[in-house]
A and B are shown apart, each in its own frame.
Chain A
Amino acid sequence: MTTKVFEKSVMPVLARHEGDWYGVYVHVDANGNEVDRHYSHLISVYPQDGSCNYHQTNRYGWENGQFEEHLFPGNYDAENNRIIFDTERIWGWAREIDERHVQLQFTYKDGNDKYVYEFVHLSDDGQNRTRMWHWYNEDGEVYKRTLIKESRVKTDAHAKLNL
């Protein structure tokens, strides 16, 4: 919980992500072989009710009808100029590394030492987004990657899956 007013302009690249994103997630193993694929609808908002500084809803839909929704409330860490996500499942942060990129690092709270790095690239016109998750084992060796391509446009495939 936070009661502090958050001025989103302190993280201007993240602020440009506000709104809806429709995309496809492709999960590949370390050899580039596809292990899973699903559609996505993500919603980034800045709540004004004091519940948190930044909030993201991730909705995933598979063609077999499987559906998942994950909520990520985030709060600003002024000392490090980053947003911290501390949920039941994960602990991590997001920060800006140049005028096009937000970098995230997070770990799952299931007791292992694996970690995930994500790089988020936003096009200059704010209409195209590319993200990639890199899944590392405790030795820092990658074992999975998740390729994500998104746009502001809802496709028929998303509509069909109620995303």
Chain B
Amino acid sequence: MLMQNSTSDMTLIEAMPLLARNGGDWYGTYIHLDDAGQVLDRHKSHLIPRFEADSDRYTQTNIYTWNDGRQVEYEFTGVYRNGKVVYDTERIYGEAWETDDKTIILKFSYKDDPEKYIYEYIHLSDDGQHRTRVWHWFNGQGEVYKHTLIKESRTPD
């Protein structure tokens, strides 16, 4: 459902119910492909979006783990503003919105490379147990140069 009529005094959970259904732990795999479909990188993921009642924001922790033991962790906050969630961190600026009862779109850019942009499509299964996400990495001309395919579930492998 499009939330074009939402007012800024709504809580995030009220305004973006599909996003709120993404709360909790997600375990998955990230596969990075070039524009010809060749695998560039692959790693495990553990994401924890945390929602609170009566709040205009949520916080998410992303933990990425590679087979060689390398681990990276990011934490960021999304704030509800005029029908969208806005992410404005040291690294990125982005906005996310719901396009139907299964789909969230997130558009963001890295602040050190603002001409390029990334679109992410998030699909949540009706039972809330399966999530599919894809990042498409675009250069300044809008030509894709990388894809990141993500498949997640509620239980660790």
Instruction: State whether A123 and B141 are in contact (beta carbons under 8 Å apart), knowing that A140-B123, A142-B130 are contacts in the complex.
Output: yes
* Residue pair A136, B123 in contact (C-beta under 8 Å): yes
Chain A: interface residue total (CB-CB under 8 A): 34
**Contact A121–B136 (Cβ < 8 Å):** yes
Query: Within residues 32 to 76 of chain B, which ones have a CB less than 8 A from any CB in chain A?
Result: 33, 35-37, 39, 42
Is A153 an interface residue, CB under 8 A from the partner? no
Q: Give the residues in chain A near B99, CB-CB below 8 Å.
A: 97, 103
Give the CA-CA distance A149 to B38 in the complex, in Å.
13
CB pair A101–B143 under 8 Å, yes or no, is no
Classify the secondary structure of B's interface with A: strand
Is A30 positioned at the interface, with any CB of B under 8 Å from its CB?
yes
Interface size bracket, B side: 20 to 34
- A37: nearest residue on chain B (CB-CB)? B37
Q: Is B10 an interface residue (CB 8 A)?
A: no
Docked Cα-Cα span, A130 to B124, in Å, equals 22
**Interchain CB contact under 8 A, A26 and B37:** yes
Q: Which residues of chain A come closer than 8 Å to B79, judged between CB atoms? A: none
* CB of B20 closer than 8 Å to a CB of A: no
- Given contacts A97-B99, A119-B121, whether A134 and B142 have CB atoms under 8 Å apart is no
A132 and B121 alpha carbons, distance in the complex (Å)? 10
A141 contacts across to B, CB distance below 8 A: 125, 130, 132
For A31, the chain B residues whose CB sits under 8 A away are 29, 31
Q: Are A28 and B37 in contact (CB under 8 A)?
A: yes
The smallest beta-carbon distance between A54 and chain B, in angstroms, is: 20
Give the residue name and chain of the B residue nearest to A97 (CB).
Answer: B99
Q: Does B127 contact A (CB under 8 A)?
A: yes
Given contacts A100-B119, A123-B141, A136-B125, 11 further A-B contacts (CB under 8 A): A28-B37, A28-B149, A31-B29, A37-B37, A97-B99, A119-B119, A123-B143, A125-B141, A141-B125, A141-B130, A147-B37
Q: List 7 A-B contacts (CB under 8 A).
A: A26-B36, A28-B149, A97-B99, A101-B105, A121-B138, A123-B143, A149-B144
- Residues of A in contact with B (beta carbons under 8 Å apart): 24, 26, 28, 30-32, 34, 37, 97-98, 100-101, 103, 105, 117, 119, 121-125, 127-128, 130, 132, 134, 136, 139-142, 145, 147, 149
